[in-house]
Amino acid sequence: MSREKMLKIRVSDYEFEQLRQEAQKQGVSMSDVVRKYISKLPKPDITAG
């Protein structure tokens, strides 16, 4: 899957540390952790554009 879009978000220091520690625990990047959570969301309705 090609990744062409970029998402920039603001998080608190606490949220950042949560994400950083989870990524470290899993041995993956913080982006990979976020992608994993996103993959659990319902499939988008592509006609709702």
Structure tokens at 9: 């978000």
Decide if 11 contacts 19 (C-beta within 8 A): yes
pLDDT category at 47 given cuts 50, 70, 90 is confident
Q: How many CA atoms lie within 13 A of 43 on its CB side?
A: 3
Cα distance between residue 14 and residue 1, in whole Å? 31
In the predicted structure, residue 44 carries a pLDDT above the cut 80? yes
Alpha-carbon distance values, 39 to 12, 13, 19, 32, 42 (Å): 23, 24, 16, 10, 8
Determine the pLDDT at residue 48: 62
**pLDDT, tens only, 4-42:** 999 999 999 999 999 999 999 999 999 999 999 999 999
Confidence of residue 2 (pLDDT cuts 50, 70, 90): confident
pLDDT of residue 49: 56
